[in-house]
Structure 1
Amino acid sequence: MDSARRPILFVSLPESGLANPLLVLAEELSRRNVPDLWFATDEPRRGDVKKTGVGSPVEFASTGEVVTELSAVTWDDAVYREVTQSSRFKAHRAVVRHSYKPGRHEEKFHKLAAVVDEVKPALMVIDCISAFAIELAISRKIPFVLSVPFVPSNVLTAFVPFTKGYTPRGFPVPHTGLPYPMTLPQRMSNALFKWRNLAMFLTPEMSKVVAEENRRRKAHGIGKLSLMTRIDRADLVLCNSIAELDYPFDIPEKIRLVGAMVPPLPEASQDDDVSRWLDEQSSVIYAGFGTITRLTQEQVDAMVEVTRRLEGRHQVLWKLPSEQQHMLPPKESLPANLRVESWVPSQLDVLAHPNVKVFFTHGGGNGFNEGVYFGKPLVVRPLWVDCYDQAARGRDFGISLTLDRPRDMDVDDVIDKLTRVLETPSFRENAERLGALQRAAGGRETAAELVLGHPALA
């Protein structure tokens, strides 16, 4: 490698929740005309990577087509139902079983290795779920920065007993949706979750998978790794949240809480139809349930009825994927206060609009932090795993309410939660206070300074 070159290689799985914060960071470095920027991800994000080159170019490096087992968006309906079931542990176990596939990780490892051979990065910036990229960085002794789109305890809490963690004993295990502190029954449930996790890996089926994973890693000279290895071996961890949105604990110094990764706004022209419509309203509920959510006919019907009951008081802007819109009633029978869009030019522009008063969301890491960033209180319909954790924190910090029966989308429950959040000033006040802290954390600008200050780029 030319001694003057210091390539930075971003690596992410294609999911919006993982890739989007890194795309914002890559764009910020491009805006500063930082040379030798590369972004490795799956083919469907090629166009998104190219768009980040607003100053210096950001080169796309392909890790191939999407691997179904590693991408929740591509899971079939049976798997989707399993990973979004009401039992927190069974849903968590289903996610592990469907995504913990050593052979498929090995495919990505080799594709990324070819990229690394070409780019010869001085530094890698990796989303925290891309284990294959972390393994490659460790095996090649390449310094790496970890990107975390969740609250910090999500990656600092042990999932099984007797293993290393950075949070206090008795802290809620990720994906349990439990509060902190807990009642005695909740503490028992939390401990049981850890023990059931351990038991899951001791079954004959999972033992074979673990043995295969250990053989694979040994072949790359890595050895056994734990979930905390990604933290311990990272030079720096960029967390897209703030301490005030997590339960209190001592956060390691290498974890830098930079807040939500938001690009310069507006992202889209303010002369588009959605923006003009928002300008004309006085109170809008924005409903967006992420890229993974697949609503049923009953849930779509419930959402339409919720909107109908809000007519005369609030407008509803509902981002509903085009492939699910066939479940809507005929256009002429939709409530007059409902606007359905399959795509909005920018969700961030919508959340930033002053006439949007509440965000009805699935509670994923990006949406949760972005909603707070713009000072919007939330109503949360948790979808799976980490969504329950964000929902618990939002409720406890007074910025959101959670549906009692998220899977049912009970109309009375939704109306109750939306009305309480809209009409109780403390929800907005708390969201605005935490939003100010989010913005003060610096987001993309702070993250860019931290990356550029890494010794590998000196």
Structure 2
Amino acid sequence: MESARRPILFVSLPECGLLNPLLVLAGELSRQGVEDLWFATDEPRREDVCGTVRRTPVRFASLGEVIPELSAVTWPDDVYRQVTQPSRFRAHRAVIRQSYKPVLQAEKFRRLQEIVDEVRPTLMVVDCMSGFAVDLAVSRDIPFVLSVPFLPSNVLTSHHPLTKGHTPRDFPVPHSGLPRRMNLAQRVANQLFKLRTLAMFLNPAMGRVLQEDARIRKKLGLPPPNPMTRIDKAEMVLCNSVAELDYPFDIPEKVRLVGAVLPPLPETTGDDPVRKWLDDQSSVVYMGFGTITRLTREQVGSLVEVARRLADEHQVLWKLPAEQQHLLPPAGELPHNLRIESWVPSQLDVLAHPAVKAFFTHGGGNGFHEGLYFGKPLVVRPLWVNCWDQAVRGLDSRVSLTLDHPETIAVDDVVDKLTRVLTEPSFHENAERIGALQRAAGGRTAAADLILGLPALV
């Protein structure tokens, strides 16, 4: 393929859910021989970026160390409890309060300014949560592509009534977890969600943050913030989903749905003990709750009991981080059908394996789409904000079930829902249908072709 001959700069926060699709896309462009590829993210991700190199270099540009206040992985336990609490609005509010830090965002903006001055990109490809990168691209008049690892409505729906979005006014507001077909109480709750979001910014404490943001933006020469700027100013919005997973609405032409953006599989070769173990099984439930989930001892005990209840018919593979394994009962008390790994070499290889029959997940954007890409029905324990929106879409699409009380992980509830998605054929059939649609959407190769076809690179 002909080289673009002009620098392409990827920019992402370090969280896996935002970073991974862009790493795959950068790797695909490298595989196709595209020159002048750069990737800006936080310093701890240097090795991951270097690992994307295939035929042509992908040069790492450091945004510095991770700022703990901006990374959900490093938030204190009290903040974690606030952003994952059962009240969806309060959790939504807690995320905004924790992540809306103008001074810290300005640090990343200034560092990215230095990188842009060096690289002089013709095009930027930016994860949808890196507002500082969108601000810089707009202020410098650099064409940019927005990467969205969520449902399209997540970025096209306004969070409050004063901003016009690209969905109908009665559409479920992001992070509410409300369905499209609402009863009267839900319609009222949907409108209140928007009004309460607006009211949050009228609070004196948040007002001081807004004033601080205005001072910083004026000093940097930036216009007032507008949540729809990232959509309206983008050359293209690359969304890692398909329309059939979201509720129907008129999707703008610039939003291109490519399904899950995955690397070539298998990712692991040679002596992979997890794959060898899977080869010997007939039915496996895979439990993986992402990199942010922090389980309690009681929740870990409940999940061990879930595996015990499934022992007659199913094996259970559980990716449980090493730092949480001290919460497990003694090894001698674990059920024989439970295999625990602190890390699996490739979650994608696990989900692609024919022995895996269901995925028990937190419902994050990547995991939700990846499980369905491989035709696996889901049981969802929503962790926070966007997870609730994916969970309700999955429920209405008949590809998943959602726990009644995710915060407690009631054993009977989990076993009942896992049994249903494992035994009722419709869940598997619908998941296979969505998987076929995602594969037809083209994934990483379609995304790469769309980027290389943009006027900025021609």
Please give the TM-score of this superposition, normalised by the length of structure 2.
0.98
Give distance in 1, aligned partners of 2:270 and 2:259: 25
Give distance in 1, aligned partners of 2:175 and 2:204: 24
Q: Which residue of 1 aligns with 2:221?
A: 221
Give distance in 2, aligned partners of 1:21 and 1:328: 32
Tell whether 2:71 aligns with 1:57.
Answer: no
Give distance in 2, aligned partners of 1:80 and 1:222: 31
- Contact between 1:175 and 1:386, CA under 8 Å: does it hold in 2? yes
Gaps (5+ residues) in structure 1? none
Gaps (5+ residues) in structure 2? none
- Total equivalences in the alignment: 455
Q: Which residue of 1 aligns with 2:70?
A: 70
Matches for 1:100-115 after TM superposition, within 5 Å:
100-115=100-115
Alpha-carbon shift at residue 270 of structure 1 (Å) = 5.3
Q: Which residue of 1 aligns with 2:286?
A: 286
Q: Which residue of 2 aligns with 1:93?
A: 93
Give distance in 2, aligned partners of 1:449 and 1:311: 46
Alpha-carbon shift at residue 139 of structure 1 (Å) = 1.0
Which residue identity is paired with 2:147? S
Q: Which residue of 1 aligns with 2:196?
A: 196
Give distance in 2, aligned partners of 1:216 and 1:249: 37
- Contact between 2:7 and 2:37, CA under 8 Å: does it hold in 1? yes
Alpha-carbon shift at residue 5 of structure 1 (Å) = 4.4
Q: Which residue of 1 aligns with 2:340?
A: 340
Q: Which residue of 1 aligns with 2:358?
A: 358
- Contact between 1:399 and 1:431, CA under 8 Å: does it hold in 2? yes
Which residue identity is paired with 1:311? A
Give distance in 2, aligned partners of 1:232 and 1:213: 21
SS of 1:436 mapped into structure 2: helix
Matches for 1:54-453 after TM superposition, within 5 Å:
54-269=54-269, 271-453=271-453
Q: Which residue of 1 aligns with 2:8?
A: 8
- Contact between 2:403 and 2:417, CA under 8 Å: does it hold in 1? yes
Give distance in 1, aligned partners of 2:141 and 2:343: 42
Give distance in 2, aligned partners of 1:350 and 1:96: 34
Which residue identity is paired with 1:200? M
SS of 2:167 mapped into structure 1: coil
- Contact between 1:270 and 1:276, CA under 8 Å: does it hold in 2? no
Q: Which residue of 1 aligns with 2:33?
A: 33
Which residue identity is paired with 2:237? V
Which residue identity is paired with 1:48? D
SS of 2:431 mapped into structure 1: helix
Query: 1:289-343: per-residue Cα shift (whole Å, max 9, x none)?
Result: 0000000000000000010111121000000000000111111221000000000
- Contact between 2:63 and 2:108, CA under 8 Å: does it hold in 1? yes
Which residue identity is paired with 1:329? P
Which residue identity is paired with 2:329? P
SS of 1:142 mapped into structure 2: coil
Query: 1:78-135: per-residue Cα shift (whole Å, max 9, x none)?
Result: 1100100000000000000000000000000011111111111000000000000000
Give distance in 1, aligned partners of 2:85 and 2:54: 42
Alpha-carbon shift at residue 225 of structure 1 (Å) = 2.3
Give distance in 2, aligned partners of 1:204 and 1:105: 21
Which residue identity is paired with 1:25? L
Give distance in 2, aligned partners of 1:227 and 1:180: 22
Give distance in 2, aligned partners of 1:403 and 1:82: 20
Alpha-carbon shift at residue 212 of structure 1 (Å) = 1.4
SS of 1:318 mapped into structure 2: strand
Q: Identity rate of aligned residues, in percent?
A: 71
- Contact between 1:11 and 1:125, CA under 8 Å: does it hold in 2? yes
- Contact between 1:72 and 1:292, CA under 8 Å: does it hold in 2? yes
Give distance in 1, aligned partners of 2:5 and 2:114: 19
Query: 1:214-236: per-residue Cα shift (whole Å, max 9, x none)?
Result: 22222222211211010000010
SS of 2:401 mapped into structure 1: strand
- Contact between 2:11 and 2:124, CA under 8 Å: does it hold in 1? yes
Alpha-carbon shift at residue 271 of structure 1 (Å) = 3.2
Which residue identity is paired with 2:350? V
- Contact between 2:5 and 2:34, CA under 8 Å: does it hold in 1? no
